[in-house]
């Protein structure tokens, strides 16, 4: 295990000064094409790679963004994946730090600060906005919009997402919709409010939750109501998220209610669950690339002292769990 070569080694090998090697590697102005090649050749021969620690230490503008995410967060993995290219395009490096049951958000934030992150991207933060604002670097709250002036935020437009789901179902001919909400989960209030706003006074909302068992419980209620009034029963359900929707679909099918023929179901998140071959859930999709781009942009702006609050519009992935209602012309005719 030979010692890692340094800039001085490369300089000696190429017969130039360290400073020049630095210039070449930052591809800054001030080096001739010929020397550039010579330096690169020497570096290649030695297997040199610049040491990020020293680089970060010296340059005030470190170019390092810290990302705090939850390992079990439904959508976090996809989003982090999308942030890598977005950050690279903007000239930022990324340092990841996970939070979870065994590691608090504060610990995750702290370790990123220690590494010298210039700004922090916090996915679905637990921490209160005031505390985030008090950190020594700017923070972008991702997936959770914030009102605080000193905390930028990038989130999906929940109202638009619910709007897409409702419009899709209405377009298929569904007259009576029901929303199974997320209970106390993050984002539940916004989605519920959006549904109520669209449906007006007659909006039917069943309290549920973000898990498949919550979905199962809510579906059981739905079934009971369905038996009570077979005609007035809803023909389509907008469920808080995919996991709950899975529980809903399972209970319905077990009870002999066909999906989508008897009841259409729309999920939310378009997670891997929704795409499973035997599920094929129509689901509201948050666009990871758009969110990632907006997030990196917000970080850059925040570094300049401007704290943006961005809402990214979602889209709808239509799969097999939605169809026109049983009585509608488009299914009976053909």
Partner DNA sequence: CGCGCTGTCTAGATCGTTCTAGTAGAGTGG
Partner DNA sequence: CCACTCTACTAGAACGATCTAGACAGCGCG
Q: Are strands 139-142 and 93-99 parallel, antiparallel or unpaired?
A: unpaired
Residues 189 to 218 in contact with a copy of itself, rule: CB under 8 A: 211-213, 216
Give Cα separations from 251 to 220, 222, 236, 244, 259 (angstroms). Answer: 7, 10, 15, 11, 11
Q: Does 17 bind DNA (CB under 7 A)?
A: yes
| Distant-in-sequence, close-in-space partners of 46: CB < 8 Å, separation ≥ 6 | 5, 9, 10, 13
Q: Is 197 in the site for DNA (CB under 7 A)?
A: no
3-class DSSP assignment, residue 139: strand
* Partner that binds at residue 34, options a copy of itself, DNA, none, CB closer than 5 to 8 Å by kind: DNA
- Is residue 19 close enough to count as binding a copy of itself by CB under 8 A? no
For the CB of residue 24, give the shortest distance to DNA in the complex, in Å.
8
Which partner, a copy of itself, DNA, none, binds residue 19 by CB below 5 to 8 Å per kind? DNA
Residue 57 binds a copy of itself (CB under 8 A)? yes
| Cβ-based nearer residue to a copy of itself, 40 or 84 | 84
CA 281 → CA 18, 204, 212, 275, 320, distances in Å?
Answer: 59, 21, 14, 7, 6
Enumerate residues 48-107 that contact DNA by CB under 7 A: 48, 50-51, 54-55, 57-61
196 binds, among DNA, a copy of itself, none (CB under 5 to 8 A by kind): none
CA–CA gap between residue 80 and residue 221 (Å, rounded): 37
Residue nearer to a copy of itself on the CB measure, 252 or 294:
252
How far CA 52 is from CA of 21, 49, 57, 133, 267, in Å, comes to 15, 9, 8, 27, 43
Interaction with a copy of itself in 244-283: which residues (CB under 8 A)? 246-247, 250-251, 272, 276-278
Contacts with 160 (C-beta within 8 Å, 6 or more apart), sequence order? 311, 313, 314
Give the tokens for residue 298. Answer: 């917000």
Residue 95 DSSP SS3? strand
Say if residue 148 is exposed, middle or buried (CB neighbours under 10 Å; 0-12, 13-18, 19+).
middle
CB of 17 to DNA, least distance (A): 3
- Residues in the site for a copy of itself, rule: CB under 8 A? 1-2, 4, 47, 49-54, 56-57, 71-72, 77-78, 80-82, 84-85, 93-98, 100-103, 110-111, 113-116, 136-138, 211-213, 216, 243, 246-247, 250-251, 272, 276-278
Binding region for DNA (CB under 7 A):
3-4, 6-8, 15-20, 22-23, 25-26, 28-35, 48, 50-51, 54-55, 57-61
């Amino acid at each position: 295990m030979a010692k890692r070569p340094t800039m001085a080694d490369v300089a000696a090998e190429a017969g130039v000064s360290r400073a020049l090697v630095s210039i070449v590697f930052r591809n800054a102005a001030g080096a001739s094409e010929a020397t550039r090649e010579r330096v690169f050749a020497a570096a290649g021969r030695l297997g040199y790679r610049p040491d990020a620690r020293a680089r970060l230490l010296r340059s005030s503008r470190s170019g390092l963004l810290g990302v705090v995410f939850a390992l079990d967060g439904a959508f976090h993995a996809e989003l982090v994946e999308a942030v890598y290219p977005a950050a690279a395009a903007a000239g930022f490096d990324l340092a990841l730090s996970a939070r979870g049951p065994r590691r608090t958000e504060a610990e995750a934030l702290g370790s990123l600060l220690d590494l010298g992150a210039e700004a922090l991207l916090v996915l679905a933060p637990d921490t209160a906005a005031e505390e985030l604002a008090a950190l020594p670097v700017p923070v972008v709250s991702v997936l959770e919009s914030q009102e605080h002036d000193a905390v930028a935020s990038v989130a999906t437009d929940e109202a638009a997402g619910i709007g897409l789901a409702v419009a899709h179902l209405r377009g298929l001919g569904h007259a009576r919709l029901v929303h199974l909400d997320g209970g106390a989960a993050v984002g539940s209030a916004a989605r519920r409010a959006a549904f109520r706003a669209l449906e007006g006074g007659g909006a039917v909302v069943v309290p549920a939750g973000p898990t498949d068992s919550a979905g199962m419980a809510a579906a059981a209620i739905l079934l009971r109501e369905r038996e009570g009034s077979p005609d007035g029963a809803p023909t389509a359900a907008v469920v808080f998220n995919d996991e709950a929707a899975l529980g809903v679909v399972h209970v319905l099918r077990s009870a002999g209610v066909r999906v989508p023929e008897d009841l259409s179901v729309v999920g939310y998140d378009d997670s891997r669950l929704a795409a499973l071959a035997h599920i094929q859930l129509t689901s509201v999709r948050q666009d990871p690339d758009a969110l990632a781009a907006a997030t990196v942009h917000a970080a850059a702006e925040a570094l300049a002292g401007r704290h943006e609050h961005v809402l990214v519009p979602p889209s709808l992935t239509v799969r097999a769990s939605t169809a026109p209602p049983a009585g509608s012309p488009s299914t009976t005719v053909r």
